[in-house]
Structure 1
Amino acid sequence: MSRHITGTSSVYSIKKQLKRVEAYFLNKHVNKNKAEVAFAISLKSKIVSRNWNNVQSNLAKTLRSILNNTDSHFRVIVAGHEKPDIKEIRHKRVTWLPVNFPPPSNQKGFSRDKMRKRKVIGEYLRKIGFSGYFMPFDSDDWAHHRLVQYVRSQPTRKNFVIDTGMMINLVKKEVWLRKKRFYIGCGSSAVFYFANKDFPLTPETNNAEKKPFHLVLKAHPKVIQNLRTLRRPCKIVKFPLVTWVLGHGDNNSMLKGKKNNTVSAEDYGSKGEKLENAFFHYFKARKNQHDA
């Protein structure tokens, strides 16, 4: 028997989860720390994308979701081969970093390409004197508008792992809650605190991997284990502050064969709901609201 539900009860369930986040901040107006959050996005090359227009559109939505955050103490750094022709990339809080190494020749090189770009971002943050939170973020996922506020409402120097998150299949037009182990599947699920000296001086592999920064170069399913190995404090987050978006045609996980367009709430023992414009809008800034 299918566990896919599109009725009122599931809609209420999703809304209830989102209301939990709002309720948490009802009486939390003062942040506990002054650290800034840097979102690090490694953008795939036009050469290896199925549809460059889709890649650009997905990035625009991701950037709008981040730019819509209630707390403005953040920046976004995007590293890639070809600069997207979207207005969001020109926003004052967004920095574009071109890379000069060759793009991957096939899907097997996607992960290495992503990490090389991540190291370029780390080098940039080292050079500008940045110390604070570093969040690797995929170029097609959505950030909750309270994400930055949540991180900065906690004591300084903590690391965060998002255990609960939303999932969407755009082909099936379904949305559901993954209550546990969200970080296992979604790469936009951890926030690390780094002092400036923790970032690499250069993107060279040996230099980057000798520092705590190597935490962001390891596979995200083992992030908790890796943090504990280095004895770095970690807070497990039970709020759905990130939405993992699938089924748009250029997901790396789908191109690698790890996921397909049939993925649904049933696969995660969850209850699905019909993806409606209201939910889509909830995670997106209005167009033109954040023009540079």
Structure 2
Amino acid sequence: MLTYSLLACDMDGTLLGDDASICQRNIRVIRQAMAAGLHFVPCTGRGFESLGPVQKPLGQFGKAGEYVISYNGALITENKGNTILYEDGLPWDLAAALYAYGTEHNITMHVYPYGKVYLYNYVPFERAFLEGRMPNIETFEKSLDFLRGETIYKIVYMDPDIDTLNTYRQDLGPLLDEVTVSYSSNRYLEFNHKQVTKGTALLRLARLLDIPQERTMAIGDNINDIEMLRAASLSVGVRNLNPAIGAYCDVVTDADNNEGAVGEAIERFVLKG
């Protein structure tokens, strides 16, 4: 039996290289570990629909018994049919208020309903970053009413200046009492429903699969991975991690995200011996 049988892995900056590709070392080692019984679970702020380029080389695409944690933990799906196992979206009035603040201040925003992502104020800086990472739909709507009736799993504000993001957070004040706030990619301020984190989703999926917490492992690189790293029995940071998460990592890899850090961690702690 493997020491760790459920591995939750962040995508951008962790599994994926700077060019958004998955290197051959990661593919080879992950497939080997999956063949030995490991549940390798992408755990991402993205939507599940963007992960085909990751799932296909790993042999996970459309398969039963393979899973994705997406939208920072707001949605857990099984790959076959993208079947929903768990979901927790933002209350509609709250999502609409966050969107209204974003349009009022002309903020570049991501809005995530099921299976899609809409981009408001889609500036060239963000277009360049997202190219090849995930499909999206540009919108010019000033109100969130165009998505009324759909579950909104997450809303994201983008700005490369962290002080600007912090100003938005302070301005929103009590509106965020029912929100989990996180940061990622040194450019995003992310809003999920209260209690939604990658960590709560990891433990929820472990329970669904009847896997004890002591057999869980997580790998990440940035601030929105902290709760996932805290929840797992073994927490691994990649060499290129944000220094703010170092205290939450049991170990840091020698390799960075371009050099197969995830493969290194699996070799050391899952396939050892």
Q: Please give the TM-score of this superposition, normalised by the length of structure 1.
A: 0.31
Which of 1 and 2 has higher RCO (CA within 8 Å, sep 6+)? 1
Q: Please give the TM-score of this superposition, normalised by the length of structure 2.
A: 0.33
